[in-house]
Chains A and B, each alone.
Chain A
Amino acid sequence: MKTVINVEELTKDYSGLTAVDHISFEVGEGEIFGFLGPNGAGKTTTVRILTGIIKPTSGRVSIMGFDLWSESIKAKQITGVVPELSNTYNELSAWNNLQFMADLYGVPKNHAKKRAEELLNKFNLYDRKDYKVKTFSKGMKQKLITAMALINDPKILFLDEPTSGLDVQSARLIKEMIREFHNDGKTVFLTTHYMHEASQLCSRVAIINHGKIAAIDAPEKLKTRVGGLQHIEVSFNPPVNVSDFYAMPGVINVHTGGDKLLLYTNEPGRVISQLVDYSRLNGVEIVTLNTLTPSLEDVFVKLTGR
């Protein structure tokens, strides 16, 4: 796989505080690469360096072979950026924001108009194209920012927390767009707080903690690597006494969550058959029964300690 983002020994110091500490990684063409980490771990600083907004203290970044500092125009020309905070021009209409971005990226006028119409339709904003952005909701602004990042038909898309705080429909639309972009063979660099989102979308993820890369791998491989107990989620009708399960053979620990019990075990098959017996003997109905493997969130918590 061709490397499209190459990061070598990247470091960023802020008056004695090292936000990013000698990180190195590569992103291959056509990957959706997730960049995860707790607040203050260095995620946004890394994205801001990779998009050419700030300069690193040391290290090297190349985008499709173009050095981000000596060939910054060429490197930026092939990328699209969806920042964490909305930075649309609120006094301009959605249409004028898109046209301005097209002009900044040198998109020819006729292409820019067609592309803007296509994107506004895709993000359900066409009817509002002549309204000033200051009248838009957060979800509409986020969709517009995403459209603005796509106006130059980039080869690499950087998204910093693109679905944060969005309603379900807007978040779903943006995730759908990420998948479509990826299906066209293009590359996505995504930072997110949502482990489920990273697990659903990313082909590989890097977990950054205290400015250093704690792990990089495919989500499923990371889950296997981190190991840990499986757990069984069960709920009964009517509710039962939690203490009945502490002594159940094969159960290592029991937690409650809402109307569900979470039984941690290394022997899920054995525990499930005992739960069925328990249901029959006590005349209670099993409402739900799920076996769960460690999630990306478990991996994240284990690696970051948060």
Chain B
Amino acid sequence: MFLSNSQDGKMIDQMKRACAIAKKDIRIYYLMGPVIIFGILAPTFLFLAFMIGRDLPVDFLIAGLLGMTIFFTSTSVAPVITPTETQTKNLERLAAAPVYITTILFGDVLASVLFGVGISFIPLLIGLAIGVTVTHPFVLVAGIVLAAFCFSAMGLIFSSNPTSATSVVMMMSSMIKFPLVFISGIFIPVGELPLWARVLASLSPLTYITDLCRYSFQSAHYYSILIDVTALVIFLVIFMTVAIKLHGRSLPKRL
């Protein structure tokens, strides 16, 4: 039997296997024209619908578009992988392989992060092309990566319902995703919202990445950088923990 140096289920071995799952996900689910186009078009049109006719600075707009793009792309495909693989019986293959459920989920998250980060370069490049300057590039890159992880983990929660019907999952995720866009300070700065709306905004992870993007472009922000980063980390931990728990419960029902 072929054995690598450490085959005993150690963390590094499982990480390599998660990377293999991510590679498979990218090949099958992400590198498709419609997926990429949807990832760009959906936030762009939503953004244009609300911004046309309003006199707002371009760096404010690009920060909102960037936040929304990371959000939409990172939550777009991850929720449909598990239901699709339940239907095609590919999930059984993974269940019979020497990988933990956490490894499978981490692989799915990793693919989603790479996709989210990759696509987020498009609004960023558009911004740079029209004269927006990035005053805090390190914060921006760190924020994009952290937010992509956070939203990808959120996407996994959408797929934890033990169904093989992707339409059910998409409907549930849309029901949560679209309202979040409106309460996260993308179209109206958080500081200009009434108190109740500011409380709601603080419950959305999208608020913090949008705030980080604004800080990176305009040096203007509502929360401190520490709060933005801490909030995103907390949301990531919560989403990942909940996703692992829910998938752990639903996986036997799928097999």
The chain A residues found within 8 Å of chain B, CB to CB, are 48, 51-55, 72-74, 76-79, 81, 83, 85-87, 89-92, 96, 100-101, 103-108, 111-112, 115, 152-155
User: Which residue of chain A is the closest to B17 with respect to CB atoms?
Assistant: A104
Q: Is the interface of B mostly helix, strand, loop or mixed?
A: helix
In the assembly, what is the distance between CA of A280 and CA of B88, in Å? 63
CA distance A103 to B23 in the complex (A): 10
Considering only residues 64-101 of chain B, those with a C-beta below 8 Å from chain A are 88-90, 92-100
Q: Are A106 and B252 in contact (CB under 8 A)?
A: no
Q: Is the CB of B98 within 8 A of A77?
A: yes
Q: Does the CB pair A53–B255 fall under 8 Å?
A: yes
Asked whether any CB of chain A lies closer than 8 Å to the CB of B245, the reply is: no
Chain A residue with minimal CB distance to B8? Answer: A74
Contact at A91–B2, with CB atoms within 8 Å?
no
Q: Are A115 and B2 in contact (CB under 8 A)?
A: yes
B97 interface neighbour in A54, A90, A105, A111, Cβ under 8 Å: A105
Question: Any chain A CB within 8 A of the CB of B175?
Answer: no
Asked if A103 and B17 make an inter-chain contact with CB atoms under 8 angstroms apart, the answer reads yes
Number of interface residues of B (CB under 8 A): 31
Q: Note all chain B residues with C-beta closer than 8 A to A48.
A: 92, 255
Given that A85-B89, A91-B28 are known contacts, is A106 also in contact with B1, CB under 8 Å in the complex? no
Q: Take A73-B9, A106-B4 as given contacts and tell me if A87 and B92 are in contact as well, using a CB distance cutoff of 8 Å.
A: yes
**Chain A binding surface SS class:** loop
The answer to whether A76 touches B96, judged by C-beta atoms less than 8 angstroms apart, is yes
Question: B27 to A91, Cβ gap below 8 A?
Answer: yes
When distances are taken between beta carbons in the complex, the residues of chain B under 8 Å from A101 are 97
Across the two chains, which residue of chain A brings its CB closest to B90? A87
Instruction: Report which of B1, B4, B28, B89 forms a contact with A155, defined as CB distance below 8 A.
Output: B1
Closest residue of chain B to A111 (Cβ to Cβ) is B2
Chain B residues near A (Cβ < 8 Å): 1-4, 7-9, 13, 16-17, 19-21, 23-24, 27-28, 88-90, 92-100, 252, 255
A-B pairs with beta carbons under 8 Å apart, 25 shown = A48-B255, A52-B95, A52-B96, A53-B96, A53-B255, A74-B98, A76-B96, A81-B93, A83-B89, A87-B89, A87-B90, A89-B24, A89-B88, A89-B90, A91-B28, A92-B24, A96-B24, A100-B23, A100-B24, A103-B19, A104-B97, A106-B17, A108-B2, A108-B4, A155-B1
Is A81's CB under 8 angstroms from B2's CB?
no
CA distance A115 to B9 in the complex (A): 22
**Given known A54-B252, A153-B2, contact A106–B28 (CB-CB < 8 A):** no
Closest to A90 in B: B88
Which chain A residue shows the least CB distance to B19? A103
- Sample of 12 further A-B pairs with CB below 8 A, known A83-B89, A85-B89, A105-B98: A48-B92, A54-B255, A74-B8, A76-B98, A77-B98, A87-B88, A87-B93, A92-B24, A92-B27, A104-B17, A105-B97, A108-B4
User: Is the Cβ of A153 less than 8 Å from the Cβ of B1?
Assistant: yes
User: A154 contacts which of B1, B8, B90, B100 (Cβ < 8 Å)?
Assistant: B1
Asked if B255 and A104 make an inter-chain contact with CB atoms under 8 angstroms apart, the answer reads: no
Residues B24 and A53 in contact, CB atoms below 8 Å apart: no
- Within 8 Å CB of B3, what residues of A? 106
- Measured between alpha carbons, how far is A83 from B255 in the docked complex, in Å? 13
Hey, which chain B residues are within 8 Å of A92, CB to CB? 24, 27-28
Name the residue among A51, A91, A92, A153 with the largest chain B CB count within 10 angstroms: A91
From B1, B97, B255, contact of A78 by CB (8 A): B1
Q: Once bound together, how far apart are the Cα atoms of A152 and B99, in whole Å?
A: 14
Docked pose: A230 CA to B184 CA in angstroms? 82
Q: Which residues of A contact B24 (CB under 8 A)?
A: 89, 92, 96, 100
Nearest Cβ in chain B — how far from A180, in angstroms?
Answer: 16
**A residues in contact with B97, CB < 8 Å:** 76, 101, 104-105
Q: Give chain A residues whose Cβ lies under 8 Å from the Cβ of B7.
A: 74, 77, 106
